[in-house]
Chain A
């Protein structure tokens, strides 16, 4: 890498001015002439047979153009796709609109197409559906019990798939242990709540046979492939555009029923159709995250050495698989070793169907669960053995020299210095003093808690097929066009990718335009998820820029009639060594390359290059988060007094954007710990179907976060970058839960399941020690 002017600098984003002025175009902001609006009738039952649907009145309603039901279109649209190679995987038929039977409350039953959105919504009320309700199972543990209602009658029970993995000698580990610490842990269901819910707009140009689908998606290219299959159209006739996308967090890393349905309706009606998801629909019918219940057992020595870990877990899949549903729970198993040397690990995973919306990737996607398991267990072990949790952590860390560090679960952690990040965080937080303060306050009947989380996560998805595409083209005007197959939706890669290219080519940021999110502009791509856009997509761009520079050198050598080795490159200009005045800028070379009148043999016109980068390994960012809380006995309220995060994502392209990712991530993790939970009752009714019931963190709930970094580059890619999209969410949740449990330890409390609502904490405290906990009975 040449001298970096831009990489590593806090540069404000190039995408912001239009967003700040309200000029960003999200799907619902795009208005096509003659467009129709679609509204979806959703099942009020969690499990029911559809006996009949009478849409006659709806069809007669003024403004209504069409009403379609599942059985009418099932032969015209393919099933929703699922990826996953587990041999035990059971894949129930998942239609875009239910056929014969609904399996969760909110499942689409019929769609109304009308001239405006109000008419479409009105007509929903005129559709009469006769349901025969069926027994419901919404609790994943009950769904596995004998005698449970079976959701998909093709199979004898509700098991969606199983995965049992054993690594190392567990029998020996548990035999040699001084102590076995057990804990049941619940990872509640969460709703991703991108502030822009989903939306789809589809237009078919019948003369050109071109279907264009604008979707609020993280994966336009993957969506294009799936839509082409579902709609039985050749890929050349399908174009997907991800315009401005208002947040994703994994919830838009999917192929949804509405995307297929709208594509179909646009072709069938030969008019543009638009659907905009409401917030209630968004909580009913956009994927949820987490949803695991597990029993952990840790085999430990008296000194805190961890010998083995067993995790028996049930993953709540919901009624159907969505695109990556089967891929998420196995990530938990893969990452169970955390940042510790644990010689023996076993995971017994049972994924189970329930009458609920599907779970799938939500920020962190399987890794927050793993981190929560191991980080809670480290604290449980410390509490049981009466050792400081810092000591237990340090005892089990691999040393920097042990990298690449191989875990029992078969991963090779690329690089790391866990103790460095931990020590830095301890120093910033003032750990020793905090412990002294805690002792003092405890003697006064106050509940101060200090919680640590030393996390490692897996990023830059990934090796074995998860490449990303990038290209760099210097136009004849000297301006540079960068294409990326990644599909950022708030992360800011129009800026960070430009920084990479600007440094490589020695040009200014203003001369670079980054294009993404349109399958007609970018020939191929995979998308933005798994903290991969920069660590994989950014590398494809870096490599393309390298190739452009090399081609420019060849051209310069030809044009200046000197040996390529006799050329210096600096500030965007090749000059002859010793004759600095004789030279050509990269723009001049591009002009010559485009004119193509004087090119060396075997060199194509145009100064451009493309690249597909597939990393040889994942990357493993890590860090330490320390959360300090005081629990208010009278109310059960948690006050976060201090939050220190030391994160290491390798080299950093733009620290401003990295800070933003970490802050947002931490707050989402705190949201899980303190507020959020998707709740269904025993009848499968969604009780948290709006933002009045589903609590997302607000500004006044939160403290100022104290962020800093260590920098351990990865050897996996030439820029040394690891990815930072999910680390905050992964690292923060156990830190605060550990802090609250630590605060309440004097009451004999050893664990509390999330979310740590005041009601829960107050009740626990009351039960444990009423007098000391502000209660009077």
Chain B
């Protein structure tokens, strides 16, 4: 087998630019895990069914086990490691904690990013919306109920948060 020509890619991950020479066949998930060294994105099936590898690529949730790193050249990625602000958890993470939305934790990063996409698109989802939004993320431990409750709680808190922000902004404008 001949040595494969490597290709240079630049991918922003959680706000930090990573430039590397990679084999064109390198999967994005392996780029994240093996090259960037962020192992919170997991691999559960390699066929884009289980969703453990879900990340946000230019604001859309994708399954990084079926995206090539070269396809993500120039993209902006958000992985689970980019959700919290230091020790302060994102409201979705906090709600998963509060509602016991995780057991073994392996599906959790992907689940949280799918929930994140849902709440970006639909801040007041119904239970049905939530169940459909995470239909591409398999969890074998929880039976999903606590996950659904966590996303409902996160939605509430985030609405409240944005509500507060808005009223603060409105108050500032009035002054």
Partners in one complex: yes
- Asked if B3 is an interface residue, CB under 8 A from chain A, the answer is yes
Query: Is the beta-carbon distance between B106 and A195 smaller than 8 angstroms?
Result: yes
- Give the residue name and chain of the B residue nearest to A670 (CB): B143
Query: Is the beta-carbon distance between A698 and B138 smaller than 8 angstroms?
Result: yes
Query: Is the beta-carbon distance between B103 and A20 smaller than 8 angstroms?
Result: no
Interface residues on A, range: 35 or more
Task: Given A22-B39, A22-B81, decide whether A247 and B47 contact each other with a Cβ distance below 8 A.
Answer: no
Query: Is the beta-carbon distance between B127 and A660 smaller than 8 angstroms?
Result: no
State the Cβ distance, B49 to closest chain A Cβ, in Å: 4
- Give the residue name and chain of the B residue nearest to A25 (CB): B39
Query: Is the beta-carbon distance between A704 and B127 smaller than 8 angstroms?
Result: yes
State the Cβ distance, A676 to closest chain B Cβ, in Å: 11
Query: Is the beta-carbon distance between B112 and A20 smaller than 8 angstroms?
Result: yes
Measured between alpha carbons, how far is A558 from B60 in the docked complex, in Å? Answer: 67
Chain A residues closer than 8 Å to B41, beta-carbon distance:
22
Chain B residues closer than 8 Å to A118, beta-carbon distance:
23, 25-26
- Asked if A579 is an interface residue, CB under 8 A from chain B, the answer is no
State the Cβ distance, B61 to closest chain A Cβ, in Å: 15
Chain A proximity mask over B115-137: 1 for CB below 8 Å, otherwise 0: 00000000000011011101101
Task: Given A13-B100, A62-B1, A698-B138, decide whether A22 and B143 contact each other with a Cβ distance below 8 A.
Answer: no
Measured between alpha carbons, how far is A278 from B146 in the docked complex, in Å? Answer: 28
Query: Is the beta-carbon distance between B106 and A12 smaller than 8 angstroms?
Result: no
- Asked if A663 is an interface residue, CB under 8 A from chain B, the answer is yes
State the Cβ distance, A273 to closest chain B Cβ, in Å: 16
Chain A residues closer than 8 Å to B102, beta-carbon distance:
16, 19-20
Query: Is the beta-carbon distance between A246 and B106 smaller than 8 angstroms?
Result: yes
Query: Is the beta-carbon distance between A659 and B135 smaller than 8 angstroms?
Result: no
- Asked if B46 is an interface residue, CB under 8 A from chain A, the answer is yes
Query: Is the beta-carbon distance between B104 and A666 smaller than 8 angstroms?
Result: no
Query: Is the beta-carbon distance between B105 and A246 smaller than 8 angstroms?
Result: yes
Q: Chain B interface: which of A99-107, A327-335, A487-495, A765-773?
A: A487-495
Contact of A657 among B100, B128, B134 (CB under 8 A): B100
State the Cβ distance, B109 to closest chain A Cβ, in Å: 5
Task: Given A21-B84, A21-B89, A700-B132, decide whether A664 and B143 contact each other with a Cβ distance below 8 A.
Answer: yes
Chain A residues closer than 8 Å to B50, beta-carbon distance:
195, 279, 691
Most chain B CB neighbours (cut-off 10 Å) among A16, A668, A691, A728: A16
- Asked if A61 is an interface residue, CB under 8 A from chain B, the answer is yes
Chain B proximity mask over A14-31: 1 for CB below 8 Å, otherwise 0: 011101111111101101
- Give the residue name and chain of the B residue nearest to A126 (CB): B1
State the Cβ distance, A680 to closest chain B Cβ, in Å: 20
- Asked if B21 is an interface residue, CB under 8 A from chain A, the answer is no
Contact of B44 among A13, A22, A195, A249 (CB under 8 A): A195
Most chain B CB neighbours (cut-off 10 Å) among A21, A28, A249, A491: A21
Chain A residues closer than 8 Å to B105, beta-carbon distance:
15-16, 19-20, 24, 244, 246, 490
State the Cβ distance, B75 to closest chain A Cβ, in Å: 19
Q: How many inter-chain residue pairs (CB < 8 Å) link A and B?
A: 178
- Asked if B107 is an interface residue, CB under 8 A from chain A, the answer is yes
Query: Is the beta-carbon distance between B140 and A193 smaller than 8 angstroms?
Result: yes
- Asked if B72 is an interface residue, CB under 8 A from chain A, the answer is no
Measured between alpha carbons, how far is A543 from B131 in the docked complex, in Å? Answer: 43
- Give the residue name and chain of the A residue nearest to B65 (CB): A279
Measured between alpha carbons, how far is A737 from B144 in the docked complex, in Å? Answer: 21
- Give the residue name and chain of the B residue nearest to A495 (CB): B100
Measured between alpha carbons, how far is A197 from B50 in the docked complex, in Å? Answer: 12
Chain A residues closer than 8 Å to B1, beta-carbon distance:
61-62, 122
Measured between alpha carbons, how far is A20 from B141 in the docked complex, in Å? Answer: 15
Chain B residues closer than 8 Å to A194, beta-carbon distance:
104, 106, 140
Measured between alpha carbons, how far is A614 from B173 in the docked complex, in Å? Answer: 69
State the Cβ distance, A547 to closest chain B Cβ, in Å: 31
Chain A residues closer than 8 Å to B144, beta-carbon distance:
663, 667, 698-699, 702
- Asked if B9 is an interface residue, CB under 8 A from chain A, the answer is no
Chain A residues closer than 8 Å to B167, beta-carbon distance:
none
Chain A residues closer than 8 Å to B132, beta-carbon distance:
699-700
- Give the residue name and chain of the B residue nearest to A704 (CB): B145
The 7 closest A-B pairs by CB, nearest first: A22-B40, A246-B106, A490-B104, A19-B105, A667-B143, A22-B80, A490-B103
Q: 17 A-B pairs, CB-CB below 8 angstroms?
A: A20-B96, A21-B83, A28-B43, A118-B25, A195-B44, A195-B50, A195-B104, A247-B103, A279-B50, A490-B105, A660-B100, A660-B146, A665-B143, A666-B143, A691-B45, A699-B130, A702-B144
> Using a CB–CB distance below 8 Å, which chain A residues touch chain B?
12-13, 15-17, 19-26, 28-29, 31, 61-62, 117-118, 122, 193-197, 244-249, 276, 278-280, 489-492, 656-657, 659-660, 663-668, 690-692, 696-700, 702, 704-705, 728
> Other CB < 8 Å A-B pairs besides A21-B89, A728-B143, 13 of them?
A17-B89, A21-B84, A22-B38, A23-B40, A195-B140, A196-B44, A197-B44, A247-B106, A248-B104, A279-B45, A664-B142, A700-B132, A702-B145
